């Protein structure tokens, strides 16, 4: 393989890379045919890691696709602020189409990450571990594309080297089975650590995520759960549990703090954010919510819904608390911010009109009143990094131990073992300071996943699997089943005849 394929990625978008075109012929004369011996596989592998930063960490990409489309988040238009031609509103009330800018960019950027990873797999000079890491990264990017759009353009071998050929399209449960087989190939050669690299437990956690959702990918309106798949989920969870490497964190928010890679015992895989070295936009996890007059001065946008907030008991440690070294510096607590806000000295803050800066339970998709700056309960899941500034030091969490435990509990429950499932969930609830469940069912398990994993980018995924995504909720009316999938972006359809628009669009 020549370097030209790698150079093509930085020269043109994956819209073209995954489509049928004459681009390779056009670039043959202008790109030097540097032989593979001159290529450093590790630099290409690092490019694959870096390619995940924007689709995962940017507030408008995969996170928005998973959270703003759910009952847990919305981005209100606040007068002239946060309108952005309605892109936020249509996510929450399920009115998007095939030209939605953020969904279009997310699809393209996930394909770019997939392409970088495949480059590593195509290199003969890549080591077994490098190929295993690349296989994991490719499976993660492909899984997110499958979860959102169901159609995953795929190139490998001769089809990868010749971009004049159409890519294959992988779909549904067959795509899920392919990704499971890919992870099975990767696990033996993956390292056991660190958490910011593809590792064995990260691959196991991703495999669990695929298996527990496979029935939804076969039929999103009526998901089914195969006992054999549930048994595999339980077995994979036991491998992670029995390693002895992980435990539920005493302070829940340490999992997301600026030094989380050092202090958290829950993180299984995270995207690296090291100031001055590499990283993404994890700061958006507080900037997008904080008011202009808070410290730091935020963008005053996103909020959660009061119905979601009310799922938490008052004693729940995940709901709101001061955080050492954060609240004392900026006055900002972590968790859900509702009511009057204060600075680090205990002084009551005001909004820009001079009214009390008191976040309200009430919020609308379109705010027009005199209190539009303060409507909506704000969410600060990641404690603020006041030291590093814009390049924050919080690793961005993808998989953590609590999710593994909850997936095991779900697999046990769906297999008919309610007592064992309930014991796991009650262990988590005890750690978070709330009373045990007397019984466990799919409804209170979904709520518990919401409480434990809120704003971590899994809510839409959970709501679909539990059959609740089409139900009405605050600021979203009854729904059309077509919204169980995102529309294939028109720009992709225009260049790839192997893609077909999803039903209803």
Tell me the sheet residues that pair with 380.
335
DSSP-derived letter for residue 183 is: H
Please report how many Cα atoms fall inside a 13 Å half-sphere around the Cα of residue 271, on the Cβ side.
24
Share of the chain above pLDDT 90, in %: 89
Tokens of 351: 């909004």
Q: What pLDDT, on a 0 to 100 scale, did the predictor assign at position 52? A: 97
* Residues ≥6 apart with Cβ < 8 Å to 338: 309, 320, 359, 360, 361, 377, 378
Q: Is 297 exposed, middle or buried (0-12, 13-18, 19+ CB in 10 A)?
A: exposed
| Residue 25: band (very low, low, confident or very high) from pLDDT cuts 50, 70, 90 | very low
Residue-averaged pLDDT of the chain: 93
Nearest to 48 by CA among 116, 115, 106, 110: 116
Which has more confidence, 477 or 361?
A: 361
pLDDT(3) > 90: no
**Pairwise CA distance, residues 110 & 104, whole Å:** 10
pLDDT(29) > 70: no
Q: What pLDDT, on a 0 to 100 scale, did the predictor assign at position 37? A: 60
pLDDT(116) > 60: yes
Nearest to 378 by CA among 314, 455, 282: 455
DSSP-derived letter for residue 439 is: S
Which has more confidence, 455 or 11?
A: 455
Count how many residues are written for the chain.
505
pLDDT for 145-194, tens place per residue?
A: 999 999 999 999 988 988 889 999 999 999 999 999 999 999 999 999 99
Tokens of 5: 């394929």
CA 111 to each of CA 21, 181, 433, 473: distance values in angstroms, whole numbers, following the listed order: 17, 20, 41, 32
| Residue 335: band (very low, low, confident or very high) from pLDDT cuts 50, 70, 90 | very high
Q: What pLDDT, on a 0 to 100 scale, did the predictor assign at position 163? A: 81
Nearest to 245 by CA among 188, 185, 210, 205: 205
Nearest to 212 by CA among 484, 470, 471, 462: 462
CB distance 283 to 388 below 8 Å: no
Q: What pLDDT, on a 0 to 100 scale, did the predictor assign at position 24? A: 38
Q: For tokens 């004693």, what's the residue?
A: 315
CB distance 228 to 244 below 8 Å: no
Per-residue pLDDT, averaged over 95-106, amounts to: 97
CB distance 437 to 446 below 8 Å: no
Burial 346-381, CB ≥16 within 10 A → b, else e: eeebbbeeeeebebebebbbebeeeebbbbbbbbbb
CB distance 229 to 212 below 8 Å: yes
Alpha helices in 162-226 (DSSP H): 172-186, 200-218
pLDDT for 384-438, tens place per residue?
A: 999 998 889 999 999 999 999 999 999 999 999 999 999 999 999 999 999 999 9
Q: What pLDDT, on a 0 to 100 scale, did the predictor assign at position 404? A: 99
Q: What is the 3-state composition of the chain as percent helix, strand, coil, each rounded to the nearest 5? A: 45, 10, 45
**Pairwise CA distance, residues 180 & 176, whole Å:** 6
Number of C-beta neighbours around residue 336 at 10 A: 22
**Pairwise CA distance, residues 460 & 475, whole Å:** 16
DSSP, residue by residue, 385-436:
-TTTTTS----EEEEEHHHHHHHHHHHHHHTT-HHHHHHHHHHHHHHTT-PP
pLDDT for 448-491, tens place per residue?
A: 999 999 999 999 999 999 999 999 999 999 899 999 999 999 99
Q: What pLDDT, on a 0 to 100 scale, did the predictor assign at position 390? A: 83
Cα 427 from chain centre: 25
Q: What pLDDT, on a 0 to 100 scale, did the predictor assign at position 389? A: 81
pLDDT for 295-307, tens place per residue?
A: 999 999 999 999 9
pLDDT(8) > 50: no
pLDDT for 38-86, tens place per residue?
A: 789 999 999 999 999 999 999 999 999 999 999 999 999 999 899 999 9
Per-residue pLDDT, averaged over 235-251, amounts to: 98
**Coil/strand/helix, residue 4:** helix
Q: For tokens 């803050």, what's the residue?
A: 349
**Pairwise CA distance, residues 456 & 449, whole Å:** 11
Q: What pLDDT, on a 0 to 100 scale, did the predictor assign at position 175? A: 98
Domains annotated for the chain, with CATH where assigned, are: 1-70+90-190+475-505 (1.25.40.390), 283-385 (no CATH)
CA dihedral for 169, 171, 176, 177, sign (positive or negative): negative
Q: What pLDDT, on a 0 to 100 scale, did the predictor assign at position 276? A: 87
pTM: 0.94
Nearest to 298 by CA among 79, 65, 59: 59
**Pairwise CA distance, residues 373 & 368, whole Å:** 10
**Pairwise CA distance, residues 252 & 240, whole Å:** 20
């Amino acid at each position: 393989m020549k370097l030209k394929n790698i150079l093509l990625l930085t020269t043109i978008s994956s819209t073209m890379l995954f489509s049928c075109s004459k681009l390779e012929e056009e670039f043959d004369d202008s790109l030097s045919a540097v032989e593979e011996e001159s290529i450093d596989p590790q630099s290409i592998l690092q490019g694959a890691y870096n390619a995940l930063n924007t689709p995962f960490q940017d507030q408008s990409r995969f996170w928005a696709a998973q959270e703003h489309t759910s009952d847990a988040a919305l981005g209100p238009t606040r007068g002239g602020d946060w309108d952005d031609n309605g892109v936020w509103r249509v996510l929450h009330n399920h009115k998007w189409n095939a030209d939605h800018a953020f969904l279009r960019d997310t699809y393209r950027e996930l394909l770019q990450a997939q392409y970088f990873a495949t480059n590593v797999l195509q290199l003969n000079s890549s080591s077994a571990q490098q190929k295993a890491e690349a296989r994991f990264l490719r499976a993660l990017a492909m899984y997110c594309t499958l979860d959102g759009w169901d159609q995953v353009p795929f190139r490998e071998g001769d089809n990868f080297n010749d971009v004049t050929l159409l890519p294959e399209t992988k779909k549904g449960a067959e795509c899920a089975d392919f990704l499971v087989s890919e992870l099975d190939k990767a696990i033996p050669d993956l390292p056991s650590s660190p958490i910011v690299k593809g590792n064995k437990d990260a691959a196991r956690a991703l495999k669990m995520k695929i298996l527990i959702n496979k029935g939804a990918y076969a039929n999103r309106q009526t998901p089914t759960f195969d006992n054999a798949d549930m048994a595999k989920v339980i077995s994979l969870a036991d491998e992670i549990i029995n390693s002895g490497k992980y435990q539920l964190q005493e302070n829940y928010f340490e999992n997301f703090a600026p030094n989380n890679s050092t202090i958290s015992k829950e993180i299984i895989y995270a995207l690296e954010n090291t100031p001055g070295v590499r990283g993404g936009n994890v700061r958006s996890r507080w900037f997008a919510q904080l008011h202009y007059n808070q410290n730091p001065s935020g963008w005053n946008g996103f909020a959660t819904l009061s119905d979601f907030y009310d799922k938490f008991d008052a004693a729940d440690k995940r709901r709101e608390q001061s955080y050492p070294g954060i609240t004392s510096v900026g006055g900002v607590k972590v968790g859900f911010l509702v009511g009057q806000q204060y600075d680090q000295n205990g002084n009551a803050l005001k909004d820009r009109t001079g009214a009390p800066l008191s976040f309200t339970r009430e919020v609308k998709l379109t705010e027009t009143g005199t209190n539009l700056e303060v409507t909506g309960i704000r969410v600060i899941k990641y404690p603020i990094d006041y030291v590093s500034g814009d390049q924050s030091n919080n690793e961005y969490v993808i998989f953590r131990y609590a999710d593994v435990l909850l997936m095991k509990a779900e697999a046990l429950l769906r297999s008919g073992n309610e007592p064992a499932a309930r014991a796991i969930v009650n262990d988590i609830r005890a750690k978070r300071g709330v009373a045990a469940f007397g019984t466990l069912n799919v409804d209170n398990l979904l709520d518990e996943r919401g409480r434990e994993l809120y704003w971590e980018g899994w809510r839409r995924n959970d709501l679909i699997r539990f059959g609740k995504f089409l139900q009405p909720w605050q600021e979203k009316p009854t729904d059309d089943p077509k919204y169980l999938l995102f529309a294939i972006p028109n720009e992709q359809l225009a260049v790839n005849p192997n893609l077909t628009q999803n039903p209803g669009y």
